[in-house]
Amino acid sequence: MFDFDVSKLLVFGIIALVVIPPKDLPRVMRTVGQWVGKMRRMAAEFQGQFAQAMKEADLDGVKKEFDGIRSAAKIDSSFDPVMAMRTEMSHAIEPPKPVEAEPVSPAPAAIPETPAADVKAAAS
């Protein structure tokens, strides 16, 4: 708020020495210090009350909720209603193509099991 640097403080000090007699200077500086302290405390109290009001209002939560609703309400940019209608109409006009069944390969023939004695007799 106030932009005090060393040169400005030096000018104030010189003016204070010229205007205020040296014997009253400590009393004036103490009074100025008290006023500055009061102003700082009032500013800190105001900031605290403002922060408390913000927490009570919970504006951050409301903002997050609003952003969530906005992102959920966005329309997908890849959605093309004309193409969707064209596809729907073409499916309604043209009968669906029959799905051809895949040819099924025949199952391998089962080999009958022969007893071991028949195998020996056939081998001889």
Q: Is the residue at 55 inside a domain?
A: yes
Q: Is the residue at 68 inside a domain?
A: yes
Q: Is the residue at 87 inside a domain?
A: no
Report the number of distinct structural domains present in the chain: 1
- Per-residue pLDDT tens for 72-114? 777 666 667 788 888 888 887 876 666 676 666 665 655 555 5
* Mean pLDDT score across all residues of the chain: 76
**More confident site: 77 or 12:** 12
Q: What does the pLDDT average to over 7-26?
A: 84
Q: What does the pLDDT average to over 54-68?
A: 77
Q: Is the residue at 115 inside a domain?
A: no
**More confident site: 5 or 35:** 35
120: pLDDT confidence band, cut at 50, 70 and 90? low
**More confident site: 104 or 28:** 28
| Reduced 3-state DSSP string for the chain | CCCCCHHHHHHHHHHHHHHCCCCCHHHHHHHHHHHHHHHHHHHHHHHHHHHHHHHHHCHHHHHHHHHHHHHHHCCCCCCCHHHHHHHHHHHHHCCCCCCCCCCCCCCCCCCCCCCHHHHHHHHC
Q: Is the residue at 57 inside a domain?
A: yes
Q: Is the residue at 30 inside a domain?
A: yes
Q: Is the residue at 100 inside a domain?
A: no
Q: Containing domain of residue 57, as a range?
A: 6-72
Q: Is the residue at 27 inside a domain?
A: yes
